[in-house]
Structure 1
Amino acid sequence: MAIFSTGPIDNSPILGVRPSQLVTVKVVNRDSLNPYNLVIQGFLLNGSRTMYVNETVNLAPNQVLTKNYFADLDAFEFVFTTVEAVEAEVEISVWGKQNSGALVDPHRIVAWEKQAVLI
């Protein structure tokens, strides 16, 4: 099992508008033979840590999965837990976006930047 975290993401309003209103999560299963299960959890950070996303997804071999989540919050964090021991086989990226779909560069976390804790 591996746990990956974006860490806390500050999304405080600038001139009354938060930089990101959406979060796009892209997951790639690079294993050509084995399917994997991944738990996606999103947390609102507002003085306490409140879960607002809790979803288990199944990834087929060589599958690329894209999920979009609400992120019009002052601060948030996403945590990804693999059920199988697959750290090298699953890659995750997280992209903050405006409602228009424009990327928010400071809210971009790509596969090699994620924090991992192996269990």
Structure 2
Amino acid sequence: MALFSTGPIDNGPILGVRQTQIVTVKAVNRDSLNPYTFVIQGYLLNGSRTMYVNETLNLASNQVLTRNYFADLDAFEFEFATLDDAEVEVGISVWGKRASGELVDPHRIVAREKYLGII
């Protein structure tokens, strides 16, 4: 089992508005034969670490999955725990978005850039 994390993401208000209101998580299973199971956990960071997302997802072979989560918080973190040994075949990215759907560049974490750190 492997655990990946975005690390803490600061989303404090700028002129009274937080940059990110929605977090989009995209996962792709590049394995053409095997399914893949993983857990997404989201945490509110406000002096303590409080879980507010806890979802187990199954990806069929060659499937792409998109999930949107509330993120209008001062600080948050997402973790991804693999339940299978196929993690090398799975790509995960995290995208901060405004309520309008516009991407927030500082809150963009893409697996190929290796920002998701293994814990």
Structure 2: any 5+ residue segments left out of the alignment? none
- 1:98-109 to 2 correspondence within 5 Å? 98-109=98-109
In the TM superposition, structure 1's runs of 4+ consecutive aligned residues that sit over 2 Å from their partners are: none
Does the alignment pair 1:95 with 2:91?
Answer: no
Measure the CA separation in 1 of the matches of 2:86 and 2:50: 27
Shift of residue 90, structure 1, vs aligned partner: 0.9
Q: Deviations over 1:56-84 (max 9, x none)?
A: 00000000000000000000000000101
How many residues get paired? 117
The normalised TM-score by structure 2 is 0.96
Partner SS state of residue 88, structure 1:
helix
- Residues 2 and 86 in structure 1, CA contact (< 8 A), matched pair in contact too: no
- 1:1-119 to 2 correspondence within 5 Å? 1-111=1-111, 112-117=114-119
- Residues 22 and 71 in structure 1, CA contact (< 8 A), matched pair in contact too: yes
When the two chains are superposed, the root-mean-square deviation of aligned CA atoms in Å is 0.6
Structure 1: any 5+ residue segments left out of the alignment? none
Q: Letter of the aligned partner of 1:68 in structure 2? A: N
Measure the CA separation in 1 of the matches of 2:90 and 2:83: 11
The normalised TM-score by structure 1 is 0.96
